[in-house]
Every structure is written in C-alpha cells, then in structure tokens.
Amino acid sequence: QVQLVESGGGSVQAGGSLRLSCAASGDWYRRTCMAWFRQAPGKEREGVAAMYTGGGSPYYVDSVKGRFTVSQDTAKNTVVYLEMNTLKPEDTAIYYCAAAGGYCTPHIERYEYNYWGQGTQVTVSS
C-alpha cells in the first residue's frame, strides 16, 4: 500500500501562483509514475501532469502546458510537486495526487492509477 498526502492548496487571484506537494509513504518504490489530477464541480476528473520518478520528460494536458511544472524533490524522493503559475479561474478544482507502478503514459488516464490522495482545493478568483 502507498499513502499519498497532498498539501499546498488555497485561494489565489488570477495570474497568481501556487505550489502543491504530494508526500508518499508506505510501500514506496523509487521508480513510479506520479501524477496530478483535478476535478471541478460537475466535471470529470482529468489528468493534469505526470512524471516517472526514474527519469524522463513529464507529460502535461494541453491546457496547463507552459504554466504548470511537475517535479520531484531531489533530497526527498518521496515528495512530488506541482508548481502552478499564471493561474486562471478555470483551474479551480480539487487537485489529487496519484501513483502507479511503472512508466507513465502521455494520456494520464484515471484508470491507470492505483493510489490516490485525499485532494486539496485550489480556488482561482477573477
């Protein structure tokens, strides 16, 4: 079992920035696909970003490319971040951290991930 805990959500005005953190514990492996998803009210949960902790380029959904960056803490390889810049009101959602064994796929599909955090709210006002 892997436990994931997100933190760093909050409220910000459009154009602002937030950094989300995801701390993993339990049966954690060094080579894992870590992803961020989000779910806005009345909408499906969508994959936002994914990275393989063993290296390689991350994947992003088109709507966040150039604004969001997923990364791993180099000192604590059990912590993954989502740096969110130039935030827009449409980024408002609950953001979830997720994990899956093995490599990531570009489409960041919900069914591929076995472990989930509890979510953290991000609210962007205009």
User: Using only C-alpha atoms, what is the Rg of the chain?
Assistant: 13
Q: What is the pLDDT of residues 64-104, one digit of tens each?
A: 999 999 999 877 778 999 999 999 999 999 999 999 988 99
Three-state DSSP class for 58? Answer: coil
| Helix and strand counts by DSSP (H, E) for the chain | 0, 11
Q: What is the pLDDT of residues 16-46, one digit of tens each?
A: 999 999 999 887 777 789 999 999 999 999 9
pLDDT of 52 over the 90 cut: yes
Q: What pLDDT, on a 0 to 100 scale, did the predictor assign at position 124?
A: 98
Distance CA 80, CA 113 (A): 15
Q: What pLDDT, on a 0 to 100 scale, did the predictor assign at position 33?
A: 93
- Rounded to the nearest 5 degrees, what angle is found at the Cα of 116, between the Cα atoms of 110 and 118? 120
Amino acid making up residue 93? A
